[in-house]
Amino acid sequence: MPIFEYTCKKCGKEFERVVFSGEEKEIICPECKSKDVKKNMSASTFMGASMGSCATPFPNGPS
């Protein structure tokens, strides 16, 4: 699910929302109900099939 981080330009509240295509114009601040919000840059993460192990094709790291 696409989760995005936002900051309200009016009151400064930071919040997260699950946003699907076409819903981005409907984002409002949960604190002051303003529509003047900014999408924040956030770090992306993912887990591969190895779940926690190094994502390198080398079993003992590169030689």
Q: What is the dihedral of CA 12, 18, 21, 24, to 10 degrees?
A: -20
Sheet of strand 3-8, all strands in order from the earlier edge strand to the far edge: 14-18, 3-8, 37-39
Q: What percent of the chain has pLDDT over 90?
A: 46
pTM: 0.62
pLDDT higher than threshold 90 for residue 52: no
pLDDT higher than threshold 70 for residue 20: yes
Residue pLDDT, tens place only, 25-49: 899 999 999 999 999 987 665 555 6
pLDDT higher than threshold 70 for residue 63: no
Q: For residue 22, what pLDDT is reported? A: 82
Q: For residue 25, what pLDDT is reported? A: 84
Distance CA 2, CA 26 (A): 15
Is 16:8 a contact under the CB 8 Å cutoff?
Answer: no
